[in-house]
A and B are shown apart, each in its own frame.
Chain A
């Protein structure tokens, strides 16, 4: 383990995984629960789902959203992919001295609007102001509370050979949109972040009776790291077909120039579903009928249990292993 925390510890890849396992999980225990985006707590006859997340995005405003919208989306999605119905949010704000009140108002309104549209209530909050230089503008922490769906069949141990792996839309939009919004690229203009709460889209899947065995939103570390985690944590072999993975032209172009791999870029409005093969087409139909899932695609399949590996079949027919994001992705020189 490194002696100091670096930015790469926050990128959702191999270092972040080690940080969580070696410092947090080892202190708090409960290793099994750490494999899910929300915890389920038994209360009476039902189960309450709880999750928490902090948002430190820079810049605070970006095409397709802002930190307020992101805070709702991230937390609502963590509850939703765990198979819970999001109901309540808390919101804690850490604000740097000198932060413009007008920006704060805009962000809080955005958070409120997004929560209303997602059908969740903001029920508690907190504000702390730190000295100038003590924070980078504004951070938000949200805790989400929901109820476990009765109809959910989410259980990773049910994954088996033949199950379909579906991605609900294009990969990497948020990662490139944020980079572009920082003004560091100078060549991308109209790409928007995919940032959106997905609970209503996921509602439709459950209402349609789709047999979802596993679900996760591919945020930091991207589609590849998320699927490596699923493969390793639950001992399944997953194979992706590279030529099926949907990606926007702008994202592909930016990745070509920068030397980034779109499979490792963050998404904030996408979900990866692993569904029973018999429900594959129906799941795609349901997703295609929603605005967030209109570009959903079957990107691969579960090929068996036991190995815990993610494999990518290239268009040439060769197969190569995919691993967790290893350190930060850094732009190349030429």
Chain B
């Protein structure tokens, strides 16, 4: 047994937080601005809020959520398409839990399920292949959303379906790549930050060297970090040091699981079944070669080719999820936050995803209510 927080850590974490804040204040004196770092990964967004790190850094360091929540970056038209897929009684739609409550133009997968559609939460895409085997008279579609962390598992499901020749299984893919979106943020959106808190999970696949372009092309430091308070604080400390010294580098602060070269086997698996393709990102439009599509030789498993789904134009709302994932707005800067938009009645995906910046703010940083 242990406690919610390891008893040995608190003092270390507290002292580290104080050191971080002192260094941040020096940084501010030098530059005249609050140092700002973007956490690329949605799990970091959640962990920073839940553990209280974000609160303790308030007024010293600005942590900005980035585009690393796979649900939040999914274009609304794609959400509509997924809901449309579930409309047919001939189909079973399988999804990760996060997708269930994301609102499309009219409703969510959860409301489709409540109305009797066969929508199932699975913990692995491999389970969806099993469901397809058990239901030969139905078409089973898995909604494949995720970054490099998840895609190897999507590939494993395609491999399994291929080996077992499961003809009634297919995948609606919205997989995305981290590198192109970071380039877009820095070169197109001109987001104002001093560095990146780089994702721990994605980096397991990509490896530390995949981020060297941040330094070479943008002089932007980055530190790969785990999700414990001490790990995140020490990564922020290193980012501050590099900012002060003006010597950007990519540091790997999560060496126990992230290697310089990443996981080659996982990448090979990923590119055996997928190939880079243009992809639409919520709030950012189409970013060339930023997504992954199922390779032509496996197109029989590609739900986009198998089913002809037509969706209309997305419904315009005042939701600022698009700005949120570009680091251009904070949750409480959105006029809908906590009023018209709550986890029970979300307007945008950032409020429902377990990695969304608005969900993190609502659950862990909200004062009223």
Contact = CB atoms under 8 A, between A and B. Distances in A.
Interface of A: 4-6, 8, 14-15, 170-171, 184-186, 242-249, 252, 256, 259, 261-263, 295, 297, 314-321, 323, 326-327, 329-334
B342 A315 contact: no
Interface in B113-136: 114-115, 121-124, 127
Given A185-B123, A326-B343, A259 B46 contact: yes
A326 B366 CA distance: 13
Contacts of A14: 344
A316 B97 contact: no
A184 B123 CA distance: 6
B254 interface: no
Contacts of B4: 171, 242-243, 245, 247, 252, 262-263
A315 B13 contact: yes
A175 to B, nearest CB: 14
B301 to A, nearest CB: 20
Given A331-B97, A333-B96, A318 B362 contact: no
B150 A315 contact: no
Interface stretch (B49-57, B165-173, B179-187): B49-57
A102 B96 CA distance: 35
Contacts of A262: 4
A15 B55 contact: no
Contacts of A242: 3-5, 52
A10 to B, nearest CB: 12
Contacts of B70: 333-334
A186 B352 CA distance: 25
A316 B51 contact: yes
Contacts of B227: 256
Nearest to A255: B4
Contact of B1 (A8, A246, A263): A246
B98 interface: yes
A334 B149 contact: yes
A284 to B, nearest CB: 15
B355 A316 contact: no
Contacts of A315: 5, 9-10, 13-14, 51-52, 229
A295 B3 contact: no
Contact of A316 (B43, B121, B201, B229): B229
A244 B10 CA distance: 11
A6 B345 CA distance: 13
Interface in B246-277: none
B55 A259 contact: no
Given A315-B5, A331-B96, A323 B123 contact: no
Contact of A6 (B114, B147, B342, B353): B114
Given A320-B364, A326-B342, A331 B354 contact: yes
A316 B47 CA distance: 13
B13 A334 contact: no
B97 A261 contact: no
B304 to A, nearest CB: 20
B159 to A, nearest CB: 18
A314 B58 CA distance: 15
